[in-house]
Amino acid sequence: MSNTKNAYSRANTSFTLDLPEWAIEELNALPKHLVSVEERMAAVIEFSRRNFQNSTGGPFAAGIFERDSGRLVVIGVNRVMPFLCSSAHAEVMAISLAQKLLGVYDLGAPELPAHQLVVNWRPCAMCFGAVLWSGVRSLVIAGEGPELEEITGFDEGPVHPDWRAELSRRGIEVVEDVLRTEALEAYREFATSQSFVYNARLGVD
């Protein structure tokens, strides 16, 4: 053991996560409102595609919208590899940025309009919980099932077996199979792009 002292500082006890430059430009090019859930999902899928094409993260995006008006709050993308941060999934990025933009930790706060999270597949084991804590009242997904893992090689982990009921019990509606074919097509493009598939260790020593 060393006799030197610990050297923690403000710089090494903070971390910053952000969206890539292209995503800022794309957000500014979008309409302020995306009226249908299909329009919202199409934007999310396009962000997921641009993310791996630009090598700025994995093929996952997540948008936060006002559920009824379709007002765009923000679309986040996966940033695990650029920031070497295993929690920087698209949902965590979108939820955290939306909460910062709106100045709330609860997107379901009584003074706010209802918010909706739109994701290009069912949230993983971690993001299932992040959805619960976010305060969104609506979750729109392109699909669920093994296809994502089979096509891409990404590990989605053990999601709660009663995930739909658990979301419903907390007043979060789930809208499924919105542009499912288009989402899978983007995953196939990812698979053929030979992009790196990161995963945590799978129990091998």
Mapped onto helix, strand or coil, the DSSP state of residue 168 is helix
Residue whose CB is less far from its own copies, 70 or 191: 70
Which one, 46 or 108, has the nearer CB to its own copies? 108
Task: Give the x/- contact pattern for its own copies in 91-130, rule: CB under 8 A.
Answer: -x--xxx-xxx-xxxx-xx--------------xxxxxxx
Spatial separation of the C-alpha atoms in residues 163 and 128, rounded to whole Å: 8
Residue numbers 144-203 binding its own copies by CB under 8 A: 157-162, 166, 169-172, 198, 200-203
Q: Which helix (H) or strand (E) holds 200?
A: none
Distance CA 101, CA 106 (A): 12
Sheet holding 138-141, edge to edge: 72-77, 61-66, 115-119, 138-141, 173-175
Smaller CB separation from its own copies, 153 or 177: 153
The smaller minimum CB distance to its own copies, of residues 45 and 80, is found at: 80
Which neighbouring-strand residues pair with 173?
A: 138
Binding-site member from 6, 181, 192, 194 for its own copies (CB under 8 A): 6
Q: What backbone phi and psi angles, to 5 degrees, belong to 75?
A: -120, 125
Residues 6+ apart with CB under 8 A from 16: none
CA–chain centroid gap for 168, Å, is 20
Report in angstroms how near the CB of residue 115 gets to its own copies at its nearest.
11
Nearer to its own copies, 15 or 177 (CB): 15
Least distance (Å) from its own copies to the CB of residue 185?
Answer: 26
For its own copies, the closer CB: 8 or 192: 8
CB of 32 to its own copies, least distance (A): 6
Q: DSSP per residue over 91-114, as a string?
A: HHHHHHHHHHHHT-S-TT-TTSPP
Question: Does residue 1 interact with its own copies by CB under 8 A?
Answer: yes
Rule CB under 8 A: choose which of 58, 63, 135, 143 binds its own copies.
135
